[in-house]
Every structure is written in structure tokens, then in C-alpha cells.
Amino acid sequence: MRRTANKVKKFFGKKKNQKTTPGGNVASAAAPDSGTASQVSSAYQSDTGPAPGAGVISPKSGTASSAPPAELETGSRVSSTKQAGIGSGAVLDTFETVLGVLKEVSVPFAPLQAAVGGVIECIHIYKKVAGNTEALQALANDLISRTKLMRELLNKDDMDVSERKIVQDLADKLQEISKTVREQEQEQRGQFRKVALKDQIADKIETFKREIQNVYQECQMKLISAIKTDTGKILETITLKELKHSTKASYDADVGTKHARRSCHAGTRVKIIQDIEKWASDPNSTSGYWICRVAGTGKSTIAMSICKSLRTIGTLAGSFFCSHQIPGCNEYQMIIPTLAYQLASYSRRFAIALKGALIKYPDIASKMPNEQVLRLLIEPWQDLIKNDQTNMKLPVVVVDALDECEDVEKALGPLIDEIQGKRLPRMKFLLTSRPKQAIERLMHFWAGDSSLEEFTEVKEFILHQVEETAVQEDIHTYLKAELNNIGLTEEQVRRLSILSGKLFIYAATAVKWIKDVRAATSQKKRLGILLEQNQNPESLDHLYMQVMQEAIPDKLTTDEKEERWKILQTVISVSKPLSCKAIAEMLSLEEDIVEELVTELHASLLPGLKALEGFMTLRHNIFT
């Protein structure tokens, strides 16, 4: 034991009170302590910091040596750590604590835990000879983040063979890297001690850091691929269990140009979106967030922007964009199964729990929404909570335009009950709707005589109560960007913004109508027609009247006007999308007459209509 201690002293320097030698060698003391080669001091504690005397394992000897603050070289001179402020007590404690956390986060994976012990040993070796605490601590912090991500991806109790092999491969590669470092230290002890070789030591540290990060990155990519494959198999099983879900309801589904979902224009709605993002990331905020009130204020575009933002940071767990125009997006029976399927796609652990629920309740797809909420959402999610498997970011589910789904209260009611009852903890729900009475009744039921804002689990945001100046600024930005090609003056943009009021749909429809003609002169003429209005509408009546007058001008004969009004009345009366051919057959008209009116009404009808294969329906619910 004494001989081993002397070796440690010889490698790491001389006695603590010895000065720096002229040759630049760093002097420090290393007091021997008992230990084994397979351990890194158990003194590393993430919550309390290292215990006094926490040491580093000396290579091969198995003896731990204490690690008092080393003396470092700064710039072209050598100074003590206390003088340089690096490696002093506070910094050393932080460094050792970080290593303790690295050790701790590796605990769930036994092979990795042992290999990380070797990595920590190498970090101590490099720190001792180079004193580069900052670079090595950055490496340790990076490895902590990577290991935490592995813990999010994996649950040690349900890892399959391929995943265990990936983790074992990582451990083996880390052991090999650690072994190489220890061998180099034994072979080049003299060089390791020479401060004159500072650049060479720095290169070695950089190489060590890069090798460690590369093997972790390789492991991470393999795990993600394996998990996707496994989750795909689970989802295939879930689909085979006849859990019907809507493929068109997801925010990013390709629903064609007629129904294309759009996000907010760049530079608009910034404050609103930031507030929602803040809510979504706050574990102490309400579980629900309801954006409501009048049509045309931009609820769906805000929901789209939020979905894109959440997807970027990895917290969008599901989305259902209701639409009375798109099959599969207007049926309340599809909402809960679709959200359950998307949650399974988002989280493999949820997918495993959902698969078990489908085996236990094979006919759940045909049950009422209240039972589906219980079996497909509550029970699988609570399995994760019970087993402490929710060490993920806060997942967010977005359901847009609830009012466009027929009898939506049948699915919304049970879901709101569970949100208000706090039976879906750590899961967030962003909901949007117009002020449909059935929806408002459900949202306000739990509040009783209080306002919903004062209640606990659903925050109400009344979009049209946003200050008009803020909305006007956003509409001004939108109009200026969309109509910049026709050379609008600042005054024209301002006046058109005022006409839009708080209604983004007014601005969007105005833009569509102006740009429906190609010639810049014609576009300016249409702009002039709109600006001649003196009204400040809170509805779209005046704008749509202008569109109608263009589509059914006075120059038409009485019969031609009557035909066009019949077509228009049919579109308004029938809630389902109709093709030009279908309308022509219903009214006993020639199809080209219907097609001509479709072209004229392009701004107020859904865009992208085609004469033979397109379906036409009203652009906005303002008519319904």
C-alpha cells in the first residue's frame, strides 16, 4: 500500500507546500487513501457535493488519492489555483458535484454506470495534469445531458434485446477509450507532468472529449432508430385493433390547397404566441387553455403557429383540427381515438400502455367517448405517472375549431371533466372555438358563479378582447407584406387596416379579392373600391357585398342574375362541400355557368377550386 501511495505521489506531484519549480512542473500533494480499481469514490453526491477527501483512483494500483486544488498554468505563467481563481474550493466543489451527477444519472443502466466510472477516472487524470477544469466540466455536463436523454428514451424495465445491446456497446466503447487513456498515462508519465507540453495535453483532452461525445451520439442515434422501429410495430398493432383515427386531423396533414391550414404571418401575433408558449412550458400553470370568441379573429392560425413551435421543441403530443369541410375532421367519435393514437406515436411508453388497454378492451373503439377517455387516455397516462415514467417535457395536445365538429360536446364533456379533475397531470390541452353555447356551458360548468379565469384548470383567453391597437399593428404588418407588389402607400395600408377592425379574416379576404386579378392596375382599382368605404365593420358584410356585386353585376340579364343567385343560395344552404357538377345537376343548369361564378367568387369561397374535380364551400363560417 505504501509503495502504491508513493507512485501516486510521484505521478501527481510533490508535497502540497512545495513551490513551483523553475522548469514549470506543478507541485501538489496527494495523500493516499484506500480503495479499489473498480470504484470511483462514492463521495460524489449530486445534492450535497463531494465529501471531504473525495479522491481519484490511481491507475492500476487501485489506490484512491485525495485531490486538493491543483496549481495551474495561466497564459505563459504558472500560478496557484487560488491566485488564478480556477480550481479553488468553490469551483472544485462544482466540478466534483457535476461528476457526481454524471455518475448518478447513469445508475439505471448497470453496464453504463461502470463505464462512466472509467470516464470519470480519465477526467480526473487530465484535470490533475492540465488543470483544465472548465473544458472537462463542460464535457461532464454534456454527458449528463446525453444520459438524461437516454433516460427519457428508455425505461430499464422494458428495454428490449436490441436496446440493451446498444447500451452495452456504448459501455464497451467507453471502457476502451478509458483504457487507452490509462495506458497512455502509464507510458508517458514524464510527458504528462511537464507543463511545457501544455498544448499537447490540450490536444489529448480535445481528442478524448471528441471520442466520448461521438460514441454517445452514435448510441443516441441507434436508440432513436430502434425506438421508432419498435413504436412503429406497436402502432401497427394498435391500428390492427381497429382503433380508428383521423389521418387528416393532424395540424400538418395534407388536406389539399382548398383546405390548407395556415399559420400566422411572420411578425404578427407575437405576444399572444409567446404567452401561450410560456403557459405550455410552465408545470405550475393550468392544464387547459381555451382560445375563444368570434369568428375571423385568427384562432386557427394561432393554433397552427403553436403546433409548429411545439413540434420544433419536441412537446407537441397530438393535434386535432376540426373542420366541417373535411371528412374525418367533423365527427366527435374520431377525436379521442385520434388523440390516443397520436400520443402513442409521441411516447413509446404510452404506446405500450395503450396496447395493453386495447388487448384488455378490444371493443373500445365502438364505445361512448366517456369510456374511451378513461380507457384510451386516463388509464394509460396514469400507468406512466404511477411508474414514474414521465421524465419528459410537458406534452401538449391541441384541438382547434371545436365548433366545427358536430355534437362535439359529447367528446369534449368527458375530456374537460378529466382535465378539471386533474386526472391527466403534466399534460396540457390547448383548445380553440367560437362561442357555441354547448361548448361555453361545458367550459364554465366547473366555475359555477365565478368566472373561468378565476378557476383552476382551464385558462380562458378571449381573443377579440385583445387591445385593438395590438391587432391593428399585426394586420398592418400582414397587409403591407401581402400587397407590397402593388405599391401601397403607408396611408392606404393604414386605412385598410382600420377597415379590418379586429378581424384578420377581413384582411385576408380583402387580400384574396384584390389579388384575384393579375393586372396591377386592376388590383389597385379593387383596392380603391374597398378604401371608399367609410364603415369600420365588425362583420364581413360590406366586404362580401362588394365581392357579390362583382360576381353578379348589373350588366347581366335578369335570367343570368337569377341563375347566379340560385347557385350562391345553394352553396350557403348546404353545409357539405359540393362540386360544380353536383350543383349544376341540382339546379338543372349547365356546368360552365357554375364554373364561371366560382371564378368570380374565388375570394369568398375556398381557394383552389377546379371546374370538374373541385368542391366548393364557403370560405368562412361567418355565413353559418
Give DSSP secondary structure letters for 199-213: HHHHHHHHHHHHHHH
Q: In this structure, are residues 605 and 571 in contact, taking their beta carbons and an 8 Å threshold?
A: yes
d(CA 541, CA 304): 27
Q: What is the pLDDT of residue 611?
A: 34
Question: In the prediction, which pLDDT does 505 show?
Answer: 82
66 and 205 share one domain: yes
Q: What is the CATH number of the domain that holds 577?
A: 1.10.10.10
Query: What are the angstrom distances between the C-alpha of 328 and each of 322, 333, 613?
Result: 9, 9, 20
Q: Which of 551, 582, 616 is the last residue of a domain?
A: 551
Distance CA 530, CA 534 (A): 9
Positive/negative CA dihedral, 336, 342, 344, 346:
negative
Phi, psi for 434 (deg, rounded to 5): -80, 170
Between CA 314 and CA 152 the distance in angstroms is 12
Give the CA radius of gyration of the chain: 33
Q: State whether 200 and 285 are in the same domain.
A: no
Please report whether residue 54 resides in a domain. yes
User: Is 232 within a domain?
Assistant: no
* Residue 370 CB coordination number (10 Å): 16
Q: Cα 295 vs. chain centroid, distance in angstroms?
A: 27
Q: For residues 444 and 455, what is the distance between their CA atoms, to the nearest angstrom?
A: 9
- Report yes or no on 236 lying in a domain: no
Q: What is the Cα–Cα distance from 195 to 56, expressed in whole angstroms?
A: 21
**DSSP-assigned beta bridge partners for residue 396:** 316, 428
Q: 570 lies in a domain? A: yes
| Domain co-membership, 521 together with 544 | yes
Same-domain status, 311 and 365: yes
| The C-alpha cell that represents 528 in the structure block | 380603391
538 lies in the same domain as 568: no
Residues of the chain with pLDDT under 70: 1-95, 98, 103, 105-108, 130-133, 149, 151-161, 187-200, 226-242, 293-294, 387-392, 446-456, 463-465, 534-547, 550, 575-576, 599-624
Range 471-499 burial, b when 16+ CB lie within 10 A, else e? bbbbbbbbbbebbeebebeeebbebbbeb
Q: What are phi and psi of 239, to 5 degrees?
A: -65, -40
Alpha-carbon distance of 488 to 275, in angstroms, equals 32
Is residue 230 assigned to a domain? no
SS3 376: helix
Same domain, 119 and 213: yes
Q: Give the per-residue pLDDT at 195.
A: 45
- For residue 456, what is the DSSP state? S
**What is the DSSP code (8-state) at residue 365?**
G
Scanning 25-78, the segments in alpha helix (DSSP H) are: none
Cα–Cα distance for residue pair 324/6, rounded to 1 Å? 82
Strands (DSSP E) along 283-413, which ranges? 288-292, 316-321, 396-400
HEC sequence for 227-242: HHHHHHHHHHHHHHCC
Q: Which helix (H) or strand (E) holds 77?
A: strand 77-79
Q: How far is CA 18 from CA 25, 69, 85, 300, 449, in A?
A: 11, 14, 19, 72, 78
CA distances (Å), 354 to each of 349, 372, 452, in order?
A: 9, 11, 32
Q: Which amino acid is at 365?
A: A
Q: Does residue 624 belong to any structural domain of this protein?
A: yes
Q: Are 375 and 356 in contact (CB under 8 A)?
A: no
The CA distances from residue 59 to 23, 299, 499, 569, in Å, are 26, 64, 78, 88
- C-beta of residue 81 within 8 angstroms of C-beta of residue 132: no
Taking CB atoms within 8 Å and a gap of at least 24, the contacts of 271-276 are 271/470, 272/302, 272/461, 272/463, 272/466, 273/302, 273/305, 273/306, 273/309, 276/302, 276/306, 276/430
Asked whether 300 and 505 are in contact (CB, 8 A), the reply is no
Number of domains into which the chain is organized: 4
Judgement on whether residues 299 and 418 belong to the same structural domain of the protein? yes
Angle at 403 between CA 445 and CA 568, to 5 degrees: 150
DSSP one-letter code for 405? S
Q: Are residues 218 and 288 in the same domain?
A: no
Query: Are 366 and 402 spatial neighbours (Cβ–Cβ below 8 Å)?
Result: no
Tell me the HSE value of 129 on the side-chain side, using a 13 A CA sphere. Answer: 31
> Would you say residue 248 lies in a domain?
no
**Half-sphere exposure for 468 (CA within 13 Å, toward CB):** 9
Is 597 contained in some domain?
Answer: yes
Considering the domain architecture, whether residues 187 and 312 belong to the same structural domain is answered as no
Residues in the chain: 624
Cα(368)–Cα(473) distance, integer angstroms: 46
Q: Which of 181, 208, 225 is the last residue in one of the domains?
A: 225
> Domain containing 420 — which CATH number?
3.40.50.300
* Domain boundary, last residue among 464, 496, 522: 464
| Owning domain of residue 585 | 553-624
| CB-count burial class (<10 Å; 0-12, 13-18, 19+) for 188 | middle
Q: What is the pLDDT of residue 133?
A: 65
- Claim to verify: residue 325 and residue 405 sit in the same structural domain: yes
Residue 481, C-alpha cell as written in the block? 407584406
Exposed / middle / buried, residue 213 (Cβ in 10 Å: 0-12, 13-18, 19+): middle
CA end-to-end span of the chain: 89
* 399 and 503 both lie in a single domain: no
What is the DSSP annotation of 545-579? HHHHHHHS-TTS-HHHHHHHHHHHHHHHH--S-EE
* Domain shared by 441 and 520, yes or no: no
